[in-house]
Amino acid sequence: KRVLNCMCGAFSDKWLDVSRRCGKNAEPLQVPWGKHIDPQQLDAALATGAFDAVTLIHNETSTGVMNPLEELCAVARRYPEVVLIVDTVSSFSAVPIPMDELGIDVLLTGSQKALALPPGFSLFSVSEKAFVRAMQQADRGYYFDFLEFKKNQDIDMTPTTPSIAHINALQSKLDDIFGEGLTNRYERHRRTNARVHDWVRRRGFEFFADESYRSVTLTCVKNNRGIDVADLMKRLRVKHHLVIDGGYGKIKGETFRLSNMGDETEQTVSHLLACLDDCLPPS
Amino acid sequence: KRVLNCMCGAFSDKWLDVSRRCGKNAEPLQVPWGKHIDPQQLDAALATGAFDAVTLIHNETSTGVMNPLEELCAVARRYPEVVLIVDTVSSFSAVPIPMDELGIDVLLTGSQKALALPPGFSLFSVSEKAFVRAMQQADRGYYFDFLEFKKNQDIDMTPTTPSIAHINALQSKLDDIFGEGLTNRYERHRRTNARVHDWVRRRGFEFFADESYRSVTLTCVKNNRGIDVADLMKRLRVKHHLVIDGGYGKIKGETFRLSNMGDETEQTVSHLLACLDDCLPPS
């Protein structure tokens, strides 16, 4: 059958290309950038019976959209033949993601976004259903073969020589995370995010993402004031040694992005916002 | 067409499985462990016209065999439709490997063997012929897609977020390598290797690999004295805080392995050999 790629921004859009280059028969479920993946649209697509796998990016950082994971997973659960693959690179550990309860079959994350570790390491978790599907799959490759990982995990081995430094860093980060407490960590993201949102409104900016679908870890600010984003970035960097992103892909300059994920605290976020104020042209 | 996997030990044997799991029509050119890949056998296989790709491990560390790269490449060059893929993980920078001159199409190496960097990073170089072949290849995947790497390299970008620490470490290591000088580096490996070989002979051990095909970076010692290899390893670790390998895969215990690759010097190798003497049972 086919894989359905839910696409709502630069990173989720990429999955269609990736799927096809891996030889999959893939179709897009495309919404305009800034919009979220609509559970009803997903339902309609899956009801055709044409698909047995779905890819979804939980938090699309190019647009600042956090997709409604619970509703989308509830839809997917109604189609038992469908394997649900969710990328949580920029949401993992910032909001609760009860994988088993939601029925996520492959949960992917990276080191360098919500986990605030150096890049170069990926983490994933695979459901029993996805293991069974992998067994039925020919030509599934070697490097990311779930069954190869499982076989080695059963004997307490890594499938290939791993990046030891990243594993140590992850262990240290997990200690930090459980030291802070998951609930506290989720709350911290809510609070720092609210602080960014408050700043956006007070400075007369708008949000690129619709209300109710705004990411809790990254805010994509619409440049409705028509400021020179490149100049703002430069001033911020030169004067305050801070780096923000001036918009990704086709919305570069029309947006800019403020992250509050990972290790960001109320103090660091407030500092960033104060420095932004210092560099912003008068409204 | 098919891919021919030249197999002479644990690591080269693995390529057949990897090739097949990637959906390739693959055949082994298998020789017994401890033997080298024979250029005449390679010639005979390629003369059938059944193959358009060959995988070869230059230095097979499970058996201490260094394959005759020049002769094997000379054979492959006579078959222009064949793409030659060579793994140099444990020989790169230890011996000269003039990729273009030899006609190697894909040269692979890793960070943690001959380069003596932490694991978690791979390096590869691709010939024009291999780029053209990649273009003709459907379902070639995304993660290791040569064309994706090339496209990004052309605009001075990485294809994915890379492990920055490994890149910095590589830069530092390259400074070291060119500081030492390539010729000096090659010579150092020859000298430290000769020291190991000398020790093997003097202590009444034999070599697992045939003369003329012994690796310059790693010596696989045949346990013809029937010593307790596990006990030797333990004594060495406890008393001298040194770790050697007690044989890989099916020749565990029947062999043990001494590396002189990467950063090993005459001093470190001599120290290891002296400590081995201290822990060896009397002959």
**pLDDT band, residue B237 (cuts 50/70/90):** very high
> Do A165 and B162 make contact, defined as CB atoms within 8 angstroms?
no
For an interface test with A, give the residue of B15, B25, B143, B144 to mutate (most A CBs within 10 A).
B143
Distance of alpha carbon A203 from alpha carbon A258, whole angstroms:
14
Does residue B269 carry a pLDDT above 90? yes
B6-21: per-residue pLDDT in tens?
999 999 999 999 999 9
Does residue B55 carry a pLDDT above 90? yes
List Cβ neighbours of B224 (8 Å cut-off, separation of 6 or more): B204, B205, B206
Q: How many residues does chain A have?
A: 283
For an interface test with A, give the residue of B22, B124, B145 to mutate (most A CBs within 10 A).
B22
What per-residue confidence (pLDDT) applies to B138?
86
Backbone φ and ψ of B37, nearest 5°:
-75, 125
Domain boundaries, chain A: 2-175, 181-279
Average confidence (pLDDT) over B33-45: 98
Residues on chain A touching B166 (C-beta within 8 angstroms): 120, 163
**pLDDT band, residue B245 (cuts 50/70/90):** very high
> Do A145 and B21 make contact, defined as CB atoms within 8 angstroms?
yes
Residues on chain B touching A110 (C-beta within 8 angstroms): 161
Give the three-state DSSP class for A77: helix
Give the three-state DSSP class for A156: coil
Place of tokens 């059958």: A1
Strand partners, B124: B108
A136 burial class (0-12, 13-18, 19+ CB within 10 angstroms)?
exposed
Residues of chain B in Cβ contact (below 8 Å) with chain A: 17-18, 21-23, 110, 112, 118-121, 138-145, 161-166
Q: What rounded mean pLDDT belongs to chain B?
A: 97
Q: Are B66 and B216 in contact (CB under 8 A)?
A: yes
**Which residue, among A58, A54, A56, has the nearest Cα to A67 in the 3D structure?**
A58
**pLDDT band, residue A139 (cuts 50/70/90):** confident
> Do B139 and A165 make contact, defined as CB atoms within 8 angstroms?
no
Distance of alpha carbon B110 from alpha carbon B119, whole angstroms:
8
What per-residue confidence (pLDDT) applies to A88?
98
Token duo for residue A265? 């605290």
> Do B165 and A141 make contact, defined as CB atoms within 8 angstroms?
no
What per-residue confidence (pLDDT) applies to A32?
98
Q: What is the CATH number of domain B2-175?
A: 3.40.640.10
Distance of alpha carbon B268 from alpha carbon A89, whole angstroms:
43
Average confidence (pLDDT) over B222-247: 97
Give the three-state DSSP class for B125: strand
**Which residue, among B120, B159, B149, has the nearest Cα to A121 in the 3D structure?**
B120
Token duo for residue A20? 């096809």
Instruction: Locate all alpha helices (DSSP H) within B78-163, ordered by sequence.
Output: 99-102, 128-135, 146-154
Average confidence (pLDDT) over A115-128: 96
Q: Are B24 and B3 in contact (CB under 8 A)?
A: yes
Place of tokens 């290939």: A160
What per-residue confidence (pLDDT) applies to B282?
87
Strand partners, B257: B220, B245
**Which residue, among B64, B165, B170, B69, has the nearest Cα to B115 in the 3D structure?**
B170
Q: What rounded mean pLDDT belongs to chain A?
A: 97
> Do B22 and A142 make contact, defined as CB atoms within 8 angstroms?
yes
Radius of gyration of the CA atoms of chain A, in A: 20
Instruction: Name the CATH superfamily housing domain A181-279.
Output: Aspartate Aminotransferase, domain 1 (3.90.1150.10)
**pLDDT band, residue B93 (cuts 50/70/90):** very high
